[in-house]
Structure 1
């Protein structure tokens, strides 16, 4: 484990973080460029609030949890200053995107901008103890909770009353946010939220008959035999399960950890492409053609989150299947996604594992999944006192 830990640490600090430090900072207008070509050249200057918040979080977290390097804190402050000036509408909701100068382009229809803004400012408060950052994080989190049952608000295009569904994405993210913001929130709120999201993830969206977590269920938690209801996203399931494992450690709940590992292993089994290797992006639970045309692509975030999940499962329990899957994922991911020439990792492969887009960042890929996963695996596999769970 120690040797693997060093490999992940070196990749994080010697390759990936320097790439973003060098290429993403907009020295003229503030904030970060995320649309970066293979060699780091900026190919589009629009700024997406959810990616801005993620990059603030990443550099603040490195400062908080790895080393108090001033350059990392300065990088986080640089992005936060741009977000603070331009990122919200008059009601405090975070826009989806702005132009380079900070003028709004796309309305705040997507609550994930808010989720990653609150993560970013929460981590920055931890780094600086500046009340302003803490207040932004708390106010945004309160907005998230208010919008929880109708995340898109006025921008929701679904006709109400015919097929109302619950979506997995927000409870999944809240299971991570509940820990990320623990230092800022009232203890009783955190405890209640943790129990709520565990129940939603593990009892509402998880269907024990099939052993599968669905992306969308009916309001009562039952199965919806529709495109949306049959949709499986193995990557979402696997990422959520390492969030659940973290909560299991926090709560000293071995049963939650074990159940999370079982669900993640099953997701890997049905999500793995036996012909070409790698994890499918989307599947239909009944084997029907998925409506997402990109269903068979192999995406960076799916694979690096699976590495984190299996590293945690292996480290916490010594599970042999988790160890085997980690090594299998490590081989596939490092051989297909890592760019040996220009730094950082590719994001999009076709089914055969060939690079589909050679960009290093864009509208959806930024300074988040790859460095977070490298950090998580490095810290998870480094030698440490054994965790005792009852």
Structure 2
């Protein structure tokens, strides 16, 4: 029974790891960007070959390389990455001579590539709040050798830079890259926004959605980035195009926000109402601050709508306004429940206010 339970845990962990790999999309489409890091690795460690790989459920795929070894795909069990993702810690796997290492000495794929020296660092990506090994940054030589003093730390630093580069790469959607022209960008955003809950719930007109799409500003954030903090000025509405965020109040999880959700609507609506009552935009901003923290659990692609752009647009979209009001009311009730619970249990909290909510 215990063995079966352990096996299930391993399967669940591997499924989560592969999901992290998949979350980055078609990384191999960006060899030009990642190839810069591969070339830096060959130069830094004086090796003729460098690979950047992604390890899937059954393959190790080379997404960027530098050097004469050009094979692009290996069976997972037949290459080095399988050993890297299986070992604990972040230290690189260093094999001074594959011919003398029983793990690799009889491996035909390694022999065919004429790899005698190998050093590979794991690539860790934070996905859904947990860091998982998705692949490797490695260097190889046809001659046995070792790493020099300080090279281990340098390789780990380069691996971290590689993951950061991957997180910033544009993603494929529906089999095609996001359009680079302004018109293509807007129409792509219209298509996305039509499926987002705020626009879909009461069927906002497509022409109106286009007006919003023209004002949205894309933003990419990494895992662990805090998008809003308690007390921040609340003048931006965020739509999540890709990724997952968590909304918390005094350490208590209020909600998980995924693609198609938005946040920041409560304060934005409050600011609009204050301006209608005669307050200036600056006065309204000072009266409306965040009352919750929102943190990215993984790489997130966001679309930002600032108050100065949102105020005139919301006047043209009453259906959207009513939907956002419904969302704000539900979230306010959730915040009030948490604050009442913490007050009753003696946890120091702040009084809730509709003008200070995310």
Q: TM-score, normalised by structure 2?
A: 0.23
Task: Please state which structure has a larger fraction of its residues in helix.
Answer: 1
Q: TM-score, normalised by structure 1?
A: 0.22
Larger Rg: 2
Task: Please state which structure has a larger fraction of its residues in strand.
Answer: 2
